[in-house]
């Protein structure tokens, strides 16, 4: 687990954001938005995942993202962590607490996503999807709940999900499990005053969309465009604010009205 730390000692509430590996990703957009709203940011990334995907690794992304957060006045810590490892979640929280202090908001943008359907998904791929998308979500929430010590009513848990299962079986099925795990936290962590919500951001092109998918999603959208990382980031920013406290235990579809 490698770490890059920049900025001044933590003075602001601290958000831990997983899956912040590329500058164009939703996780990076959320990190920038929360930093601008007064949060310090710890984030995880896992470059070997990008190496396996069509877009590939983005050299220097961690440093660019970290500097953007520092420019917003945030202290920041970047941790490379393979969340398929059952021990990674506790190690991440240990490092964040040692370097920056206690976490107030947990925002989970990490994922394993490899296209395959009912007939061609391998057992290995299925198990990895559930290890990353479902099991790691549970373990991260468990660590958050065990360690949360901030003021009652300030704690936030937010997960990103998807309902895309046809032709994307292990991803969609494991994201469905993520939904249930996250929403359970709204009730099981009620004694801490922590809210827990899931966001389905709809189609956001962060470099993975073939042109035919882009065109179809744009045609299907009443607004005539795709979602952006900023669209999701604004919703996360609201949910993490005091004004967002009453929204709890919800699966929020934020897709511009996509049919």
Q: List the catalytic residues.
A: 171
Burial (CB < 10 A; 0-12, 13-18, 19+), residue 9, is exposed
| 65 Cα distance to chain centroid | 15
Q: Phi, psi (5° rounding) for residue 65?
A: -65, -45
Residue 199 corresponds to which tokens in the numbers above?
Answer: 């966001």
Element counts in the chain: helices (H) and strands (E): 9, 8
Q: Report the alpha-carbon angle 255-23-75, nearest 5.
A: 105
3-state secondary structure of 50: helix
Q: What is the distance between the alpha carbons of residues 250 and 227, in angstroms, rounded to a whole number?
A: 20
3-state secondary structure labels for all residues of 72-122? CCCCEEEEECCCCCCCHHHHHHHHHHHHCCCCCEEEECCCCCCCECCCCCC
59, 100 Cβ separation under 8 angstroms: no
Q: What is the distance between the alpha carbons of residues 257 and 259, in angstroms, rounded to a whole number?
A: 6
């Amino acid at each position: 687990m490698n770490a890059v730390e920049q900025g001044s000692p933590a003075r602001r509430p601290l958000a831990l954001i997983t899956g912040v590996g590329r500058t164009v990703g939703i996780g990076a957009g959320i990190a920038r938005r929360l930093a601008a709203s007064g949060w310090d940011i710890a984030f995880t990334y896992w470059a070997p995942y990008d190496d396996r995907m069509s877009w590939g690794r983005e050299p220097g992304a961690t440093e660019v993202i970290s500097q953007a957060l520092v420019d917003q006045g945030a202290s920041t810590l970047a941790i490379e962590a393979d969340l398929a490892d059952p021990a990674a979640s506790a190690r991440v929280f240990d490092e964040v607490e040692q370097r920056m202090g206690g976490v107030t908001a947990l925002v989970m943008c990490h994922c394993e996503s490899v296209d395959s359907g009912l007939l061609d998904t391998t057992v290995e791929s299925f198990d990895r999807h559930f290890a990353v998308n479902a099991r790691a979500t549970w373990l991260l929430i468990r660590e958050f709940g065990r360690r949360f010590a901030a003021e009652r009513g300030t704690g936030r848990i937010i997960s990103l999900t998807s309902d895309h299962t046809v032709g994307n079986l292990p991803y969609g099925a494991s994201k469905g499990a993520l939904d249930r795990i996250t929403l359970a936290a709204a009730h099981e962590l009620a004694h801490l005053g922590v809210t827990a919500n899931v966001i389905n951001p709809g189609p956001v092109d962060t470099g993975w969309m073939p042109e035919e998918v882009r065109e179809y999603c744009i045609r299907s959208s009443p607004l005539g465009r795709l979602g952006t990382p900023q669209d999701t980031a604004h919703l996360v920013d609201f949910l993490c604010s005091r004004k967002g406290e009453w929204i709890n235990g919800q699966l929020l579809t934020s897709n511009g009205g996509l049919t």
